[in-house]
A and B are shown apart, each in its own frame.
Chain A
Amino acid sequence: MIGAIEVSTEWYLVLSAVLFSIGAVGLLIRRNPLVMFMCVELMLNAVNVTFVAMGTELNDVGGQIAVFFVLVVAAVEVVVGLALVVAINRRRLGASADDISVLRG
């Protein structure tokens, strides 16, 4: 009988670990910078799940405040990252991360 299963904080932490791992693997194996940014978003969301779960566990609103700031930083990261992608695509060809391996110019 599975009537007594209750969701505990550990469930959220394990889910967060799985989501973070998927994001990390995607970041490592994908070559398209846009998809790599999306994988970074996945990892940030995994951390957000952890923050809210622990905030609920500890009965403290600090976890939700942290998520708020993570959201802001994620937005900033996307803005600057996409600006970089646009700038690189304007100047030269090749949208793959392997083409942008030289930091000069």
Chain B
Amino acid sequence: MTAETITFVVGAIIILAGALGVVGSKNPVHSALFLVQTLMGVALLFVVQEAHFLAAVQIVVYAGAIVILFLFVIMLLGVDKAEEWQIKEPIAGQRPIAVIVGAALLGLGIVTTIIASDGLTGQVRGLGDKALTSEYTDVERIGRVLFSDYALSFEITAGLLTIAVIAAVVLTRSVRGEDLLEDLEPASMAIPAAAPFGGNDSDHGDAHDAPAESSSDESGEDES
């Protein structure tokens, strides 16, 4: 076996084990850590395919920023209790149907690959600066194409990021009392209400399972 084959197999095992861990973990923190494993495996495959810049960006942006953001939110909200497997399914038979849909997607992907593999002749199609065999290094090549052919897309990306920052600020601004959604009962009223987050009445909520409505009222008064 060549070195590339061995690396691919190792990377594939890392990726798939991590993906199964993300889906199967009861604790969201464990899911986030398995997600890091999958992202590292994908970065490994990027290195195998000589996309070194993307491998570095994958680790810096995904593992360094996005997963940390996930962990921040998990820790901030305290939603890391074991969750939902015992909750009854809102739609009867949803999980078996989901597995069937996933198997169908998998079959579709593999069949498409088999059909399309006739067109994968390996002939060179990249031209000029876009060719991966041009004389530039990896970063130079991406930079040249990104800031010439894809310059407009790049600018739109900047706008998108700005919109996302503004949206995050607007969505998470401090809540006034009248904004609380008091009239909305959670669909799962049968589930004992958890302690409200971010209020100093948490011991009250823990002592006896208070109804969701009164708890949200109290937390709203505390925040306003």
Contacts and interface: CB of A to CB of B under 8 A. Distances in A.
B117 to A, nearest CB: 5
Contacts of A91: 175, 179-181, 216, 220
B97 to A, nearest CB: 8
B22 A38 contact: yes
Contacts of B28: 32, 34-35
Nearest to A105: B181
A18 B23 CA distance: 13
The main secondary structure of chain B at its interface with chain A is helix
B182 to A, nearest CB: 9
B19 A42 contact: yes
Contacts of B12: 15
Nearest to A99: B186
Interface in A1-22: 2-3, 5-22
B40 to A, nearest CB: 11
A65 B172 contact: no
Contacts of B4: 6-7
Q: By CB atoms of chain A within 10 A, which of B8, B19, B97 has the most?
A: B19
Contacts of A23: 19, 23
Q: For the side of the interface on B, what is the size category? A: 35 or more
B79 A5 contact: no
B168 A52 contact: no
A20 to B, nearest CB: 7
Interface residues of A, number: 83
B184 A92 contact: yes
Contacts of A49: 42, 45
B5 A5 contact: yes
A86 B77 contact: yes
A95 to B, nearest CB: 5
Given A31-B87, A60-B126, 16 more contacts: A7-B4, A7-B8, A13-B109, A19-B16, A22-B16, A25-B102, A26-B23, A41-B66, A45-B39, A52-B49, A59-B126, A80-B168, A90-B172, A90-B198, A95-B77, A96-B83
Interface of B: 1-2, 4-5, 8, 12, 15-16, 19-20, 22-23, 25, 28, 31-32, 35, 38-39, 42, 45-46, 48-51, 53-54, 57-58, 61-62, 65-66, 69-70, 73-74, 76-77, 79, 83-84, 87, 90, 94-95, 97-99, 101-103, 105-106, 108-110, 112-114, 116-117, 120, 122, 124-126, 129-133, 141-142, 145-146, 150, 153, 157, 160-161, 163-165, 167-168, 171-172, 175, 179-181, 183-184, 186-188, 191, 193-194, 196-198, 212, 215-216, 220, 223
